[in-house]
Amino acid sequence: MTPELRHLRYFVAVAEHLSFTVAARELHIAQQSLSQQIAALEHALGGRLFDRDTRGTRLTEVGRMFLPEARAVLTHADAALETTRRAVRGEIGRLRVALLISTAHPARDRQAVRNLLGVAADLAASVDLTEAG
């Protein structure tokens, strides 16, 4: 099995709560399913991430080393997804405006571009003047 982002989310939730019950509730999955997914992750990694006994759940040394790495991967993945969503909505990227010299009005056109950039500040804008459409 190749670990997936959901396995990392499951691991981080259990590590933060040190409770499979609380983590399962937060993740909206059955505790048994969460336990199975963590066991599959441990098997894929080749080592235990948690010590579990009647006194509770604790991170192993390997689990303590893995936790900041898993958090970093999730943070990066979430940022990549959000960046892509913003690009799809046209909030980031490149804005290219072409204006006909014969109809251009510098003050009005400059203000229109500023207004667009005010709404979507992460757009890179360029304005081209052309003689023909």
How many alpha carbons lie under 13 Å from residue 17 in its C-beta half-sphere?
14
Average pLDDT over residues 42-65: 96
Reported as type and span, the H/E element at residue 125 is strand 122-130
Burial of 85 (0-12, 13-18, 19+ CB in 10 A): exposed
Looking at the predicted structure, is the pLDDT value of residue 129 above 80? Answer: no
Q: Is the pLDDT of residue 79 over 60?
A: yes
Task: Give CA–CA dist 9/27, Å, rounded.
Answer: 9
- What pLDDT does 7 receive? 98
Fill in the amino acid letter for 100. Answer: L
Pairwise CA distance, residues 84 & 92, whole Å: 9
